[in-house]
Amino acid sequence: GDSVTQMEGPVTLSEEAFLTINCTYTATGYPSLFWYVQYPGEGLQLLLKATKADDKGSNKGFEATYRKETTSFHLEKGSVQVSDSAVYFCALDGSSNTGKLIFGQGTTLQVKP
Amino acid sequence: EAEVAQSPRYKITEKSQAVAFWCDPISGHATLYWYRQILGQGPELLVQFQDESVVDDSQLPKDRFSAERLKGVDSTLKIQPAELGDSAMYLCASSAASGRTDTQYFGPGTRLTVL
């Protein structure tokens, strides 16, 4: 079945460091791919998405490119801030085509001043 | 900005008791989702509604869980009886439709602890 695998956390970085969080997926067909972010005590917020191969999603300085050949959707940011500390979830909409999201296990990012 | 509302935010109950969670989606959103998020894991879909109809409840433990959305607006998720393994965050989300490009908006969640 469809699945998402993220890199293990926690990831600890200093402010202004470069961020990469790896995400790979297994799916039949052509899923849409998403990154959600969960700040402490809050619900999930959509960070960015891509709906077809080679699309790049971007928001708030974060970027991710839909790579069909490597089945990946890695999240990157050039310079992280303390306020980026959160849990990041990679997700895809499953082959059922009903909008159902399948999430990875989440990666905790901690940014230190 | 419109938000998905959930209550209560926290619930502590004892094993074998009944619990209920409430969700009010963004106004006009036809599709409503209930997810369960176990600590350290990603959310997993329990049930999806399109208006008042269930679209997907394949992962809902139907012997103890039930969900309804009677008028196609707000929704209630019930657990009876609660078990220790039900301790988790229960998230509600809504979207305008169920298409692949429709963004799901999540509420703050209800954190359930079963003692």
CB contact under 8 A, A97 and B44: no
Q: Does residue B115 contact residue B15 with C-beta atoms inside 8 Å?
A: yes
- Model confidence over A38-82: pLDDT tens digits? 998 888 999 999 988 999 999 999 999 999 999 999 999 999 999
Closest residue of chain A to B103, computed from CA coordinates: A46
pLDDT, tens digit, 9 for 90 and up, residues B27-86 = 999 999 999 999 889 999 999 999 999 999 999 999 999 999 988 899 999 999 999 999
Beta strands per DSSP E along B1-115: 5-7, 10-13, 19-24, 31-37, 44-50, 53-56, 65-68, 75-79, 88-95, 105-106, 110-114
Q: What is the pLDDT of residue B98?
A: 66
Q: Are B77 and B34 in contact (CB under 8 A)?
A: yes
Residue A88 touches chain B, beta carbons under 8 Å: no
The predicted structure's pLDDT at residue A30: 83
Q: With 70 as the cut, is the pLDDT of residue A12 above it?
A: yes
Decide which of B112 and A51 is more confident.
B112
Asked whether residue B100 carries a pLDDT value surpassing 70, the answer given is no
Q: Using CA atoms of A112, A73, A95, B66 in order, give the dihedral in degrees to the nearest 10.
A: 0
For position A43, what pLDDT does the model report?
Answer: 86
CB contacts of A43 in chain B (<8 Å) are 4, 91, 106-109
Q: Which of B104, B107, B88, B99 is nearest to B19 (CA)?
A: B88
Given this model, what pLDDT does residue B99 score? 65
What's the gap in Å between the CA of B100 and the closest CA on chain A? 5
* Predicted pLDDT of residue A97: 67
Q: Give dist(CA B108, CA A2) in Å, integer.
A: 26
Average pLDDT, integer, range B91-98:
88
Residue A63 Cα, gap to closest chain B Cα (Å): 18
- With an 8 Å Cβ cutoff, the interface of chain B facing chain A consists of 4, 31, 33, 35, 40-45, 48, 55-56, 91, 93, 95, 97-109
Nearest to B75 by CA among B30, B105, B108: B30
| CA dist A79 → A57, A83, A103, B65, B75 (Å) | 17, 12, 25, 44, 41
| Residue of A100, A102, A107, A108 to mutate, testing the B interface (most B Cβ within 10 Å of its Cβ) | A100
The answer to whether A97 contacts B100, with C-beta atoms less than 8 Å apart, is yes
**Which residues in chain B are contacts of A103 at CB distance < 8 A?**
42-44
Q: From the CA of A57, how many Å to the nearest CA of chain B?
A: 13
For A18, the token pair is 């470069």
What is the bridge-based pairing of β-strands A101-103 and B19-24? unpaired
Query: Smallest Cβ distance to A99: which of B42, B91, B100?
Result: B100
- Maximum average pLDDT range among A11-20, B54-63, B99-108: A11-20
A91-102 CB burial, b ≥16 within 10 A, e <16: bbbbebebbbbb
Are the C-beta atoms of residues B38 and B46 closer than 8 Å to each other? no
Handedness of CA B19, B96, A2, B38 (dihedral sign): negative
Answer whether A43 sits within 8 Å of B104, measured CB to CB: no
Residue pair B100/A101 in contact (Cβ under 8 Å)? The answer is no
Does B2 score more than 70 pLDDT? yes
